[in-house]
Structure 1
Amino acid sequence: MDSAKRIAKARLALDRGDIAEASQLLAPFVASADPEALFLASTFGSVDGESDEQFEERSLRFLMKSAELGYAPALYALGVCYDLGDLVGKDELKAGYFFECAAKLGYPKAKFEHGRNLYYGSHGFDKKSQLGWQLVQDAANEHVEDAKEFIRNLAPPQRT
């Protein structure tokens, strides 16, 4: 079975809650630093009974490695971590950076977050309402519910 099929099978195992099968399927890909496998493995605890602290350390390490390898969902997830202060210290500038990187790779949820940052001029970005609005619209068109809600609740920026 090729890597894409094994990783897809691991995703299905995770959806079913079968951590042991997912862990077994992902192990060789985690060992070879496959970015998607690292990301998936960052989302669940070890079957070997690691502590919460050990899980959080491993999760962050895998997430950072996956992001370093340019995996858009990991970049977005790391942005969320920095935005909320989860697993890392809260840092809006780092959050904004990771959202921007994932958005540039086309990740829909990141387009929304980065678009919102541009719309309001937050997280270290200058206010660019038109560009921000366009990114939010792109995210809404890609079925990001928060983006759809954002559009329903705000009027588009005035062209200047």
Structure 2
Amino acid sequence: MTGLPTDLTKEINRLLDLGRMDDVAVILRDALKSGSAEAMFLSSSYGSQEESIEEFEARSLSQVMLSADMGYAPAQFRLGTYFLFGDFVGVDVDRAEQCFKSAAGSGYPPAMYEYGLALLKGASAGDSRVEAMSWIARAAEAGDDHAAGFLAGIGD
């Protein structure tokens, strides 16, 4: 596993675009049986009619955390945003930065941008600032629109 989205995510998105939720449920159920971190992460976004909101949120957080622990970069990124903003967990900027760093190291562009921002916010000068800007530039080169916008704003 690379830690990045595969054809499974593409297929789930295709089926969602077609409104085929039953097919999504079958594919995710089968992929979850194989222990797929990607399937675990994707499943964390979908509730069932049998779940209360509280049950869904608890299961979703648990699945995101497990998927992140398994090295799936989008889950690490999402968990980082949870820690950054205090969604479902307490605010913990240091843990957010570590999540972003892990996902950035896997090559996940949104995490590269957020990790670069985290470094930039903590950088007084010198090498840290250079490293921060390098991560943001890499994110922009990889297609992250937020990073590209950030860099464009610097030139204004």
In the superposition, the TM-score normalised over structure 2's length comes to 0.85
* Counterpart-to-counterpart distance in 2, 1:145 and 1:130: 20
CA deviation digits over 1:85-118, x for unaligned, max 9? Answer: 1121111111111000000111100000001111
Asked whether the equivalents of residues 82 and 88 of structure 1 are also in contact (C-alpha less than 8 Å), the reply is yes
Partners of 2:22 and 2:12 lie apart in 1 by 10
Give yes or no for contact 1:108–1:138 (8 Å, CA) kept in 2.
yes
Q: Does 2:103 match 1:141?
A: no
Structure 1 residues without counterparts, runs of 5 or longer: 156-160
RMSD (Å) for aligned C-alpha atoms: 2.1
Partner of 1:41: 43
Match of 1:69 in 2: 70
* One-letter amino acid matched to 2:100: F
- Report 1:1-160 matches (<5 A): 8-46=10-48, 48-121=49-122, 128-154=128-154
Give, in angstroms, the shift of residue 18 of structure 1: 3.2
Write the distance in 2 (CA, Å) between the matches of 1:104 and 1:5. 21
Counterpart Cα distance in 1 of 2:29 and 2:140: 35
Deviation at 1:74? Answer: 0.7
After superposition, the Cα gap between the structure-2 partners of 1:8 and 1:143, relative to the gap in structure 1 and judged at 3 Å, is closer
Query: Distance in 1 between the 2:103 and 2:7 partners?
Result: 24
| Structure showing greater relative contact order (alpha-carbon pairs closer than 8 Å, 6 or more residues apart) | 2
Between Structure 1 and Structure 2, how many residues are aligned?
148
String of CA shifts for 1:20-40, please: whole Å, max 9, x gaps.
321111102213320110011
Q: Percent sequence identity over matched residues? A: 34
Taking the aligned partners of 1:127 and 1:91, their CA distance within structure 2 comes to 25
User: What is the CA–CA distance in structure 2 between the aligned matches of 1:15 and 1:36, rounded to whole Å?
Assistant: 19
